[in-house]
Structure 1
Amino acid sequence: MMLLRLIWQIPMTLLVLIMVFVFANEYAVARSSRRTKDIAYVQANQPGFNAERQTLDVYTPKNESAKTRPVVVFIHGGAWNSGSKSLYSFVGRRLAKQGIVAVVVSYRLAPDVEVPAMVDDCGRAVLWTAQHIAEYGGDPNRIFVMGHSAGGGIAASLSTDDPFFARLGLPQNPIKGAILDDPAGLDMYDYLQKMEYSGDEKYLIPFGKKPDVWRAMSALYHVSARCPPVLLYVGERTYPSIAQSTRKFRQRLQDLGVRHAFTVLPGKKHIPMVTQLFWKNNVIYQGTRKFVGL
Structure 2
Amino acid sequence: MRFTFVIFVLLLVGCSSKKIKDVSYIRASNSAISDTPRMNVFVPRNTKAKPQPVLIFVHGGNWNSGRKGTYDLLGRNFAKKGVVTIIPDYTLSPDADYDAMTKQIAAVIQWAKDSVSKYKGNPNEIFITGHSAGGHLGALAVMNPKYGIDSAAISGIILNDAAGLDMKHYLQENPPTATDDYLTTWTKQPDNWQQASPIYFVDKNTPPFLIYVGDKTYTSIKIANNRFVDALHPYQPNVTPIHLNKKHVPMVGGH
TM-score normalised to structure 2 length: 0.88
CA contact (8 A) 1:207 1:213 kept: yes
1:231 equivalent in alignment to 2:210 = yes
* One-letter amino acid of the counterpart of residue 83, structure 1: G
* One-letter amino acid of the counterpart of residue 72, structure 2: S
SS at 1:135 equivalent:
helix
CA contact (8 A) 1:68 1:134 kept: yes
Alpha-carbon deviation of 1:163? 4.4
Correspondence for 1:179 among 138, 152, 158: 158
Aligned length: 241
1:37-87 alpha-carbon deviations (Å, 9 max, x no partner): 111111122242444x52111100112212110000010000000111111
Structure 2: gaps (5+ residues) = 1-14
Correspondence for 2:16 among 20, 32, 40: 32
Identity of aligned residues (%): 37
Moved segments of 4+, more than 4 Å: 196-202
Structure 1: gaps (5+ residues) = 1-30, 283-294
CA contact (8 A) 1:165 1:172 kept: no
1:262-292 alpha-carbon deviations (Å, 9 max, x no partner): 11112x1000101x24xxxx3xxxxxxxxxx
SS at 1:45 equivalent:
helix
> Cα 1:135–1:261, aligned 2, differ >3 Å: closer, same or farther?
farther
1:173-204 alpha-carbon deviations (Å, 9 max, x no partner): 53221010000000110111101899967422
* Equivalent residue, structure 2, for 1:26: none
CA contact (8 A) 1:230 1:259 kept: no
Correspondence for 2:169 among 190, 197, 205: 190
1:95-126 alpha-carbon deviations (Å, 9 max, x no partner): 10111000001101100110000000000011
> Cα 1:205–1:172, aligned 2, differ >3 Å: closer, same or farther?
closer
CA contact (8 A) 2:152 2:207 kept: no
Larger Rg: 1
* Equivalent residue, structure 2, for 1:110: 93
* Equivalent residue, structure 2, for 1:287: none
Quick one: distance in 2 between partners of 1:259 and 1:73?
Answer: 24
> Cα 1:221–1:230, aligned 2, differ >3 Å: closer, same or farther?
same
* Equivalent residue, structure 2, for 1:6: none
CA RMSD of aligned residues (A): 2.1
> Cα 1:141–1:162, aligned 2, differ >3 Å: closer, same or farther?
farther
